[in-house]
Amino acid sequence: MDTDPDKEKTHELRAEQEERETREHELLKESELTDEADQHERRRDKAAYLKEKLAERERAEADKD
């Protein structure tokens, strides 16, 4: 079975965003300064958004098959 490099890349990118989201969530919990916490929260939210968009892309790619 041949694998589609685009699908693999999408999966890798989604996994990367999931890791970022988790990392930023941990940093948010450890933040002592309000500004720092706000920054980690924004980064976490952005990673979650990108992860969801990549999941949508994976579903669309799967529907093509």
- Give domain limits for the chain: 5-64
> Do residues 47 and 10 make contact, with C-beta atoms less than 8 angstroms apart?
no
Residue 17 tokens read as 């965003």
The predicted pLDDT at position 49 comes to 98
What tens-digit pLDDT sequence spans the chain (65 residues)? 457 888 889 999 999 999 999 999 999 999 999 999 999 999 999 999 999 999 999 999 888 87
- CA atoms of 44 and 19, how far apart (whole Å): 10
The predicted pLDDT at position 5 comes to 85
- CA atoms of 25 and 47, how far apart (whole Å): 10
The predicted pLDDT at position 64 comes to 84
The predicted pLDDT at position 51 comes to 96
The predicted pLDDT at position 23 comes to 97
